A and B are shown apart, each in its own frame.
Chain A
Amino acid sequence: MNIIVCIKQVPDTETKITIAQSGLDIDRSNISYIVNPYDENAVEEALRIKERLDKGAITVISMGPARVTEALRSCLAMGVDKAIHLKDESFEESDSYGTALILYEAIKKIPYDIILCGRQAMDDDNGAVAIQLAELLNLPHVSLINKIEIDETYCKATVHRKTEDNIEIIECKLPAVFTCHYGLNQPRYASLPGIMKARQKPFQEIDSDSLGLNKKEIGKAGSKLQVIKMEIPSARRAGKILEGEPQDVVKELTRLLREEAGVI
């Protein structure tokens, strides 16, 4: 069983975001990065699948700048077997389709039974790359999974897809792409021996030329969308704090909700 996990490095969700001088990107000078939380769920699930089946190999793969090395290393420390870093200046500013295309070129050359991704990257919040990768690889996909079981023949998986209101139990032929939802599992922390071992694990860097990519189709040149403005939404202003005896405060609140806000 070969499992590929696609991970993205994103700003820590706690980080305060400001806008860069250009007005077209966030200011990246003071940001701490983490592995996209949903992708951590994907890594954890890959490890559990491998542990359950007691065989297989897990490869994490990420497209991004030099700093991404750290994210890949942390996955190796969690127990992943191998890392691939897709790194090239021409990859920068790819849109979701461009990113999917780069991942596709790399992934089609290696063996896989299952590809696990996150529901969405907590920076661009697109939720597109994984599904587009499935399309390019001509694989079925199931998004938003919070449970997965692999058939013993490795020919199909049964997954739970968590939608707004239901859980759909879906059978999907393998190979396939799945996007992991929150609640699938609780990702483990890397152990100290894990961190030590990570240093010896295979770590491959691949650039655009070795993937045979057409530079017009990827990066800024290939992007089908253009950012024309980025801004911080005007903060909500703190409103009224109602003070007094609970009984009176509650009366006042209901009055305001009806007369001022008009919501009840």
Chain B
Amino acid sequence: MNKPVLAIAEQREGTLRRITFEVIGEARRLADKLNTELNVTILGFNISSLADILRFHSPDKVLVADSKILENYNSEAYINTLTDVVSKIEPSIVLLGATSIGKDVAPRLAARLKTNLISECISLDINDTLLTAVRPIYGGKTRATVTSNTPKYQIATLRQNIFKPSIENSSKTAILEKIDTEILPENLRVQIKEIIPPPKTVVNLTEARIIVSGGRGMKAPENFKMLEELANILGGALGVSRPVVDAGWVGHEHHVGLTGKIVTPELYIACGISGAIQHQAGMSTSKCIVAINKDPDAPIFKIADYGIVGDLFTIVPLLTEELKKMLRKK
């Protein structure tokens, strides 16, 4: 039998991230293709309930590293634990989310195991036993298809919101296995002192299904209330272009684009955003794009599914009202 496929789950503050299921879904697909086992590993503290959830997502085995030292992401504690897990099960493929955790740990793991790493994949496949992947490069202006040249420990990180998530399946429950960690806190060179949450509870942009975004055309910080209201009605999140962050109108956690976040929502509504190439780099793979801009020549219209040429200060409030009516009727 081929070596197993390993999916690395991601939890923060005791909650499983959505990317976890996307990673498991894809890992299951690859494992089936390779006719091999799927193992899932999760790191954290007091996570037995999370491990139980994972068991119902059809892995063959769930490896649980439950320790105080793994409570929050610590690069050294995580890398050491994951190296142990990988050395133990010798997977052919290791999949992680392309998140601030996955992208931090995967390169180090690859270097330690002297193996390859494919970052930010948007599609994966297997050719014999070798992993092939498509990944956007040059800020999404180009796509490269790459293949690994060794079937051992092929590591890939998966871009969020692209892969089909696994679904709960009550018929099959995996075995649980404990992973011991013998890391002493005093040996860690990296120590987390404090975790500061964003100013108020913002929906995680990279996971958001709908994003309402504003650019320099919003004119002033107080006008973003209007977009927040629209986002609220749609159950979405607020995004912004870079000048908005640079001006200090809205926090960096909302920043979409080449230097900000790459998002793939089902609906992206761009208000007063010209659609510069660097902004597009962060949002052009959204499933549906709406642009509201008073300049008919704004580049955003070239990629928008629906465009409204007009003053956003007229359009947005009307749209909010209309949606309120529509969604109330539902």
Contacts and interface: CB of A to CB of B under 8 A. Distances in A.
Nearest to A231: B143
Contact of B260 (A182, A243, A253): A182
Interface in A133-180: 134-136, 140-144, 146, 158, 161-173, 176
Given A246-B318, A261-B305, A263-B210, A228 B145 contact: yes
Interface of B is mostly: mixed
Contacts of A256: 306
A140 B146 contact: no
B118 interface: yes
Interface residues of A, number: 80
Given A224-B115, A239-B304, A253 B290 contact: yes
Interface string A39-70: 00000000000000000000000000000000
Contact of A239 (B189, B204, B296, B307): B307
Interface in B135-180: 135-150
Interface in B194-227: 194-198, 202, 204-206, 210
Interface in B279-308: 281, 284, 287-290, 296, 301-308
B108 interface: yes
Contact of A240 (B150, B202, B307, B314): B307
A126 B98 CA distance: 10
Contacts of B245: 183
Contacts of A11: 138
A236 B289 contact: yes
A59 B255 CA distance: 31
A242 interface: yes
Interface string A218-249: 00000111111111110110111111001101
B114 interface: yes
A125 B99 contact: no
B201 to A, nearest CB: 9
Contacts of B100: 143-144, 161, 163-164
Contacts of A109: none
A108 B246 CA distance: 37
Contact of B310 (A96, A246, A263): A246
A165 to B, nearest CB: 6
Contacts of A214: none
Interface in A167-200: 167-173, 176, 182-183
Contacts of B309: 241, 243
B108 A258 contact: no
What class of interface size applies to chain B in its complex with A? 35 or more
A17 B322 contact: no
A132 B289 contact: no
B330 to A, nearest CB: 9
B252 interface: yes
Contacts of A166: 195-198
Contact of A176 (B73, B117, B189, B288): B189
Interface of B: 12, 72-73, 75-76, 99-101, 103-104, 106-108, 110-112, 114-120, 132, 135-150, 189-198, 202, 204-206, 210, 234, 245, 252-253, 255, 258-261, 266-267, 277-278, 281, 284, 287-290, 296, 301-310, 314-315, 318-319, 322-323, 326-327
Interface of A: 11, 13-14, 17, 19, 26, 37-38, 95-97, 100, 122-129, 131-132, 134-136, 140-144, 146, 158, 161-173, 176, 182-183, 223-233, 235-236, 238-243, 246-247, 249-251, 253-254, 256-258, 261, 263-264
